[in-house]
Structure 1
């Protein structure tokens, strides 16, 4: 602190911009921003409250403010706030994600930590989040047209926004809150440039009217790449357009200036890193490249929001996906991993990186407005708890018996069409398609009544027509017959989305009266692409299932949602059978914790599945990587015994192990693996 500032302490952000009263919000009518009549350059970072444990919100926000940031930006996920039709959760709705969803508390905490806020409420957010933030129950309306002014879609948007926007309106800067701007829709211009569909300007106007009718008075913005998309995704006379990019800021800002002369320029998304799909290597952005581009933004000068500053995690089943093809050709499907580390300035677990230091240095160099900064918070200690042996187990038939709901259908159906959750369908988890006494089925379908045909003949062929959404595990009489997913190349084989009309030989053993079970996993819904891609259903729905070219009918369909209440009430746990027997099962142990600390569950010796801690689904794991560990935040643990349950699809391990750091497959680690082969 300088000698001057020691005699005259620096003001906070709010003291500087609200001294004398609040008369106006963020203004964009000049070539530079003003806030309440005073010049401001926005130094912002993205952090999503729904990807960070509530007890860590303040820690992460303070770390952001300590770099010199004056703003935090967040999306708002419709699918979490309206998980069932007409049922809302803003921190008190009793959904499994309830503790993440008090957006009022999050924004007030940001204000207490001396940060302004930019809110991007959608209704579409992309964000590599499940279904781009849309609730899956919208898929039950077959005529709905996502991201358009179509009546049915807008009816549900309006109903949701009429609940959400009044909450946000009370938190506006002009009303004494932290929110200085709202984004309308998200990267809407990319829909035409990438050949998806022509943006619907009437849709944008209807969204704007919803904002205004619900008391929103702050600046409304849109974001796209101005060099790639021009102004196709905005309405220039209504919204301030901002830019999304990773590099070449001068070119993007010049395009913005040409599109909207004499108005401020801002990067709404300056990408600090990138996200990962399963089967890839972990993305890492060169630190010097980040530094150079960030400095060029500040030197321009322009306002900026770093996407992401702190990525956090896709807890539960909430990772999104990309889809390179239309809604029926699922071959281009790319599911995202549970970690949303993003190679950001703050890691998934909130640790500092060299990018964090760079941000602090550069903002200090270029920010002309001096304000009081907090002391940089200390690092969060991580612990590697001792290994815990698997103590109890439930095999699949024991799991089925504890699912209350069963639906019977002549044909296979997607999970979204199941009549559960107040007629909202199944959103997440697994759907089981079960056919009992398959031998009886085969006999009825046979033209000959020879007793020899009562058995399923050896080398019978099971065919799933169309493509699987997204992966399938095949059991006959409880025995695993499909190949485990152990290498990325296995995704090209039976049981995964890349095959069309996939076939599986059921083996040389003939069977009579067998039970077939097809367990289909939703790996995450697509959140970016063609209009048609937003109709991507999950489960079996593109075609029927055949045994030796004879269609199987009369299915028992069982949803496996892994909700907290269901997991908590599971019973009948018993001593594990031989760990050498492959196949899906639940494996449980207890871990004693004296003082809860952040840790990472090491899944490198397991194959594929999900991890559940104290009845909460932590996330997915897969040997194919790049993610090899699951971040387990201390707030999810309790002093004393903590229950860890693993739903392994293929090959279990006999214990749970922990690390004090994350592990990803990177380019260098992949090369080492290749050299060892």
Structure 2
């Protein structure tokens, strides 16, 4: 603990020495004389190309950061003293349709974020080694833990097992992914020093149960047969699952946010003589909608205290997250619990209380990590100075200018997506999108029925996840006023729920039950991964089942949103009610900067900035703002479209600081 007693002047001296132009870069130091070996496990110590190395790594997800900012964020990470970064790889984005792969050129909504090869090359250019965690399951508070929703079209599929159907798709995905990165291994002159076999597999099932090692072996084989030569490993929380999710003969690492000594002592028992590493030292935590306040995770003081304990064990560390970024679009995950409300969807910000904020700003945890790494690191390399903070602007508020009604939205859904299904079925089972079903967004279950007298709508089973009822284009469900809304109709919490239909016009009425996928579960037991969304029980009115239902997907793909027509001018003081779309434009003079939209006055929905799906908002929080990176804006005229479920505001408010509450 003596290192903690060093003065601030000593710390600054260490940092100054590390910035000396006479020092080698990380790559110069570890490749001097040529590359003969990669990362290896020596006696209680990692060795890279014959030299001892302590890994100071940080998690960053390239698909949560606009690519124009990849280099910016990586520079900040290297300036903290990190010598490596870690990233997950989201299978669901890279194979959005079965057998159709996208590594940046797919023309999909997220294609711009998916050039993993370029990201890894930039990491190397910024003097950072890479730990790659390809999945197929990643958790990451990401939609379905990164698994593609089209897997759910197989009625009896068992994900994350040796189920031949699942493993067959995993192999096809890994074959494609490895072809993108195999030549970027360290022993080939690239940045990748280690590859994860599977992720927190010990948590998948009962704690004492040995997990499916045939499945783990199949993933290992896929890597080896595709030419992966670097160190392979698994990670779990040993105190919870011991080595039940490990593959014998391969290094285990530990995930935790407190009490490193407990986890490391268990690792030492499980694999004596092996180097220790925390693959996920949780720097903060994440938020769910409906929670009362933002979860910052560890305080900076505790963060530093546990980090020092890690270093006292001569252990390596990967900060999860070092920079969280954003869950753009519909990509947020969710968690399932065995207590009320049993399900909770993650917010769109993945700030995580990390050393670098969602917008890339330095926090107190950054400073603490930077100081402790400088004290612990025995290998002095050329370390750059931290780049300046990126500017933020609170642009003037803008008034909403135009709108499209719910009926106009429905009329513009492509005809090939509108299908007759008879009785209700889950969105993944819909025979659309070249046989891949509906992945994300909302689905409308429409029926024509006489509702001129008061009637009762009945939904058998549970809603997955949130439902609105619209009759003849008019919203009948109420804007949720508090967490107490979860006790009423329209939420997953209620089984076999009912809703009173009243006030409809005489004659045949159009009844729409709109169900939103608020995010598929990303962590838990095998049963928790049955994440089919929409309705899959029975829809009835006054006890009579509706068997002539039309399914209308509301996928909100960017190209469709940008191509909408029929916008009507919004008159001053006009009272509108959702579901509807509203649009406005605003002009920026000069180069745009980062900004935040304060959505506190709105209700619930999604935001599109210049066609890009920024994410979700919800007035009950805890998140109040949506981060807009400057590269999504442009000099001159910019467009923002809001899909509002309930009651809209008449303006969009900007701020230069996030409101996470």
What is the TM-score with the length of structure 2 in the denominator?
0.95
Pairing partner for 2:388 from 365, 374, 378: 378
Find out whether 1:544 has 2:554 as its counterpart. Answer: no
Match in the other structure for 1:633: 629
Deviation sequence 1:158-217 (CA, Å, 0-9, x none): 11111111222111000000010011110001123458x751011111111111000000
Find out whether 1:529 has 2:524 as its counterpart. Answer: yes
Pairing partner for 2:646 from 650, 665, 668: 650
> How large is the Cα RMSD of the aligned pairs?
1.7
- Could you tell me how far apart the structure 1 residues matched to 2:576 and 2:487 are? 24
- State the secondary structure of the residue aligned to 1:185: strand
Match in the other structure for 2:599: 603
Contact 2:625 2:658 (8 Å CA) reproduced: yes
- Could you tell me how far apart the structure 2 residues matched to 1:69 and 1:146 are? 35
- Could you tell me how far apart the structure 2 residues matched to 1:213 and 1:70 are? 29
- Could you tell me how far apart the structure 2 residues matched to 1:656 and 1:8 are? 48
- State the secondary structure of the residue aligned to 1:466: strand
- Could you tell me how far apart the structure 2 residues matched to 1:592 and 1:278 are? 32
Q: How does 1:271-286 map to 2 (within 5 A)?
A: 271-280=282-291, 281-284=293-296, 285-286=298-299
Match in the other structure for 2:171: 158
Pairing partner for 1:567 from 561, 567, 577: 561
Shift of 1:576: 2.6
Quickly say closer, same or farther: Cα 1:513–1:330, change in 2 above 3 A: farther
Deviation sequence 1:595-618 (CA, Å, 0-9, x none): 211000010000111111111110
Q: How does 1:299-318 map to 2 (within 5 A)?
A: 299-318=312-331
Deviation sequence 1:544-565 (CA, Å, 0-9, x none): 1111111112111111111111
Deviation sequence 1:609-661 (CA, Å, 0-9, x none): 11111111100000110100100000101111111001000001111110001
Match in the other structure for 1:411: 423
- Could you tell me how far apart the structure 2 residues matched to 1:118 and 1:591 are? 42
Shift of 1:18: 0.1
Match in the other structure for 1:233: 245
Match in the other structure for 1:348: 358
Pairing partner for 1:209 from 200, 211, 221: 221
Q: How does 1:81-480 map to 2 (within 5 A)?
A: 81-194=94-207, 198-237=210-249, 239-280=250-291, 281-284=293-296, 285-325=298-338, 332-404=342-414, 405-436=417-448, 438-439=449-450, 456-458=452-454, 460-480=455-475
Contact 2:332 2:348 (8 Å CA) reproduced: yes
Contact 2:205 2:526 (8 Å CA) reproduced: no
Match in the other structure for 2:484: 489
Contact 2:61 2:325 (8 Å CA) reproduced: yes
Quickly say closer, same or farther: Cα 1:588–1:508, change in 2 above 3 A: closer
Contact 2:138 2:145 (8 Å CA) reproduced: yes
Tell me the number of residue pairs that the alignment of Structure 1 and Structure 2 aligns: 642
Pairing partner for 1:31 from 44, 50, 74: 44
Contact 1:172 1:218 (8 Å CA) reproduced: yes
Quickly say closer, same or farther: Cα 1:176–1:552, change in 2 above 3 A: same
- Could you tell me how far apart the structure 2 residues matched to 1:330 and 1:487 are? 15
- State the secondary structure of the residue aligned to 1:421: coil
Quickly say closer, same or farther: Cα 1:61–1:71, change in 2 above 3 A: same
Misfit runs of 4+, over 4 Å:
1-8
Structure 1 segments unaligned to the other structure (5+ residues)? 440-454, 666-677
Shift of 1:535: 2.1
Contact 1:487 1:623 (8 Å CA) reproduced: no
- Could you tell me how far apart the structure 2 residues matched to 1:510 and 1:560 are? 26
Shift of 1:4: 8.3
Match in the other structure for 1:554: 548
- State the secondary structure of the residue aligned to 1:59: helix
Quick check: 551-560 or 62-71, which moved more?
A: 551-560
Shift of 1:6: 9.2
- Could you tell me how far apart the structure 1 residues matched to 2:64 and 2:504 are? 48
Shift of 1:68: 0.5
Shift of 1:346: 0.3
Shift of 1:502: 1.1
Contact 1:85 1:422 (8 Å CA) reproduced: no
- State the secondary structure of the residue aligned to 1:462: strand
Quick check: 342-351 or 22-31, which moved more?
A: 22-31
Shift of 1:509: 5.6
- State the secondary structure of the residue aligned to 1:609: strand
- State the secondary structure of the residue aligned to 1:558: strand
- Could you tell me how far apart the structure 1 residues matched to 2:63 and 2:497 are? 37
Quickly say closer, same or farther: Cα 1:495–1:167, change in 2 above 3 A: same
- Could you tell me how far apart the structure 2 residues matched to 1:396 and 1:496 are? 21
Match in the other structure for 1:445: none
- Could you tell me how far apart the structure 2 residues matched to 1:204 and 1:572 are? 53
Shift of 1:495: 0.6
Quickly say closer, same or farther: Cα 1:5–1:201, change in 2 above 3 A: closer
